Structure 1
Amino acid sequence: MNIRECELPGIGKKFEMTTKEQDKIAVVVHNDGRREMYHFDSKNDEECDFSITLNDEEARQLSAILGGIIYKPREIEKVEVAFDELVFEWYKVDSGASIIDKSIGELNIRQNYGVSIIAIIRQNHEKLLNPRADIIVRKGDTLVISGERNDIQTIITKLLS
């Protein structure tokens, strides 16, 4: 599956993907929170079969359904049981976070909180996978954190909020 993303100046962003079954879907996320979804005919990927417009709340509800938050298929539940309490969380570093301008090693996150930062995604979309201890956390970074749910909540409360 390939997802393409492009900036729509003054409007927002557009995301396009082609599914395994060769369905083409485009989503436009407007700056005001509206989402427009388009499905394209597999025979003519320039002509839209149908579209739907959702407000921010509707889009979030639909994403909860699609993401398995409201209902999880049994196979996914089995995977979660296999991982037990291991959780992966994506968290964007806000401007007031005490973690800003400090290195991962300086913060001793693994030793002090029992979680690991397994990736950092910079605002410019640069990805730092398995970041070294000397990597500095910046405002606007998105941290991918793994650990137990309670430990992740503690680090969010103490360092990221």
Structure 2
Amino acid sequence: MTTRRTPLPGVGTQYDFATESGHHLSVVLHNDGRRFLGFYAADDPDACLLSVPLEPEEATALAHLLDPAPLDAVRTDGIDLVTEHIQLGARSPYSGRLLGDTGARTRTGASIVAVLRRTGAYPSPGPGFRFATGDTLVAVGTREGVDALAEIIAGG
């Protein structure tokens, strides 16, 4: 297995992955947040057979399918806490709204401890923080609380 990172000036970054069995795929992360999953011919590493565009929510879901364990698990006094990244997609009822509008901590017991945006990270956002489509929310709580928060953010 080999992995290679290639900067694409003005575009983003391409990550190439070759498996032990000789399959080649890549992930291209564009500077504007778009993501593409590419599949290549085994005998020609430059021949892309298929390119699949992924919405941010789809990329997150695929990552969770490949590694279903929480991103960072913390065990404290017999209580399992998880830290997870939750994508705020275009269909979220909270896009453009304030963090306080979610009632996240009251409704789920989970906390949004940071918001990651293409322009930077916003640690410890207060209730007046305004969400934007494409934000990644960093949530901490119990498995059930974080799952409930993800459902609320998705509009479920």
**TM-score, length of structure 1 as denominator length:** 0.54
Q: Residues 76-96 of structure 1: CA distance to partner in whole angstroms, max 9, x if unpaired? A: 99x546573211110111100
* Alignment match, 2:107: 112
Unaligned runs of 5+ in 1: 16-27, 36-54, 70-75
* Alignment match, 2:13: 13
SS in 2 for 1:86: strand
Q: Which amino acid aligns with 1:13?
A: T
- Residue pair 2:93, 2:154 contacting (<8 A) in 1 also: yes
* Alignment match, 1:96: 91
| Greater per-residue helix proportion | 1
- Residue pair 1:85, 1:148 contacting (<8 A) in 2 also: yes
- Residue pair 1:115, 1:151 contacting (<8 A) in 2 also: yes
The structure having more radius of gyration, on CA atoms, is 1
Q: How far 1:33 sits from its partner (Å)? A: 1.6
* Alignment match, 1:84: 79
Change (3 A) 1:32 1:108: closer
Q: Residues 77-123 of structure 1: CA distance to partner in whole angstroms, max 9, x if unpaired? A: 9x54657321111011110001112211232211122111000011x
**Higher mean Cα deviation, 98-107 or 145-154?**
98-107
* Alignment match, 2:124: 130
Give the aligned length: 114
Please, what is the CA RMSD of the aligned residues?
Answer: 3.8
Change (3 A) 1:34 1:80: farther
State the distance in 2 between where 1:151 and 1:110 align. 9
Q: How far 1:29 sits from its partner (Å)? A: 3.3
State the distance in 1 between where 2:82 and 2:98 align. 23
SS in 1 for 2:129: coil
**TM-score, length of structure 2 as denominator length:** 0.56
- Residue pair 1:8, 1:14 contacting (<8 A) in 2 also: no
